[in-house]
Structure 1
Amino acid sequence: MIGISKNTIAFYERGERTPDATVLAAYRERFGVDTNWLITGEGDPFGDTSKNTEAGPSEGADIVNVRFQDLRVSAGPGLTVLDERNAEMIGLSRRILHELGLSPLQTLIMMVDGDSMSPTITDGAVIFVNRNERQLREGKVYVLSLAGDLVVKRIQLNFDGGITLLSDADGPAFPPRKIDPVDIEHVNVVGRVVCAMSPV
């Protein structure tokens, strides 16, 4: 994301190399990190860099970059991932993310196809996914990867160690889907849905 390899970052973390000004600037531009904190460890990691007259929209203290994955998450039967383009970074208000309890680096924004989660999440909604929350909890809504398909469902924890995927919409078109304990290892939890923005 900042144009350097994992090995180089590992050298920085172990103190075997010192990042130059170009790398520090890349951190600031990509993540809105205050370079004084990055160098000294003092102050606020996301201090008021907006006073810097050269700061662009993604560099200021109030705007941070968040990953937008242009994948369609299924909220209906029979739908699969529609688009697999690479993720892009979009600028969002740090205050909004803070109010939602989200970290910029662990937030994933996605779009939803289908109406099985209505009225909670409607067809065409934009969802904010917290990738830090991958431990399934009773009654919460998660994005899951099942056999390559992305789905958004409410979770019911079963006594036998399995789970049941529930839809919020009523009707026989949206039956519960039970996943046995032996199949849990094939379920990849992308993260918990903490917010949904629906089109008007």
Structure 2
Amino acid sequence: MAAHPPLPSEMPDAVMIPLLDVVASAGPGAENPMPFELARLPFPRVWLDRLGVPERYARFIDARGDSMEPTITEGSVCLVDTRVDRARRDGVYVLVDGNSVRIKRIAIGWQGALTLISDNERYPTDTLAAPDAEALRVEGRVVWAGGEI
């Protein structure tokens, strides 16, 4: 008889993280007009602590597309630290433009410029000068997608 995966009640060291009805495109952007909580997924508390994300700011979202491969693969569930509302250091972020949501690596440049990078080298980078970079809406930093980022 095959063993079943542990249930949340069998994982006393787990926290239940909201999975939002948000699909972030690892590409051109995905529409997410009114995101809501679909479910809650267990995540080891010790991992959340190691990532430095307080439970109340942790959210899961789905990633679609291949522009962030190999870091984030198509269909990955990504853990986002929603405290982050600006790119203050290099990292992978959730970006919102209207209803469109994207995941991109951001490199902080000279004089406030930001470079939006796709980890898949088949896709070009995009550099935003300071005025456009300041208008970029950051909704969180991706800290885990099947592994720490």
Q: TM-score, normalised by structure 1?
A: 0.61
More strand by share: 2
Distance 1:119 1:143, change over 3 A: same
SS at match of 2:84: coil
**Which residue identity is paired with 2:37?**
A
Aligned length: 139
Give the deviation of 1:151 after TM superposition. Answer: 0.8
Residues in 1 aligned to 2:89 and 2:47: alpha-carbon distance in whole angstroms:
26
Structure 1: which 5+ residue stretches go unaligned? 1-55
Greater Rg, structure 1 or structure 2?
A: 1
1:168 corresponds to which of 119, 124, 127:
119
More helix by share: 1
Alignment match, 2:16: 65
Residues in 2 aligned to 1:143 and 1:85: alpha-carbon distance in whole angstroms:
14
Residues in 1 aligned to 2:92 and 2:146: alpha-carbon distance in whole angstroms:
14
8 Å CA contact 1:144–1:189 kept in 2: the answer is yes
1:108 corresponds to which of 59, 65, 82:
59
Distance 1:135 1:186, change over 3 A: closer
1:87 lines up with 2:18 in the alignment: no
Distance 1:82 1:134, change over 3 A: closer
Residues in 2 aligned to 1:106 and 1:66: alpha-carbon distance in whole angstroms:
9
1:181 corresponds to which of 101, 107, 130:
130
Backbone CA RMSD of aligned residues: 2.5
1:74 lines up with 2:25 in the alignment: yes
Q: TM-score, normalised by structure 2?
A: 0.79
8 Å CA contact 2:118–2:125 kept in 1: the answer is yes
Alignment match, 2:4: none
8 Å CA contact 1:147–1:186 kept in 2: the answer is no
Structure showing greater relative contact order (alpha-carbon pairs closer than 8 Å, 6 or more residues apart): 2
* Structure 1 residue ranges (4+ consecutive) displaced by more than 3 angstroms after TM superposition: 82-85
2:90 corresponds to which of 119, 136, 139:
139
Alignment match, 2:5: none
SS at match of 1:136: coil
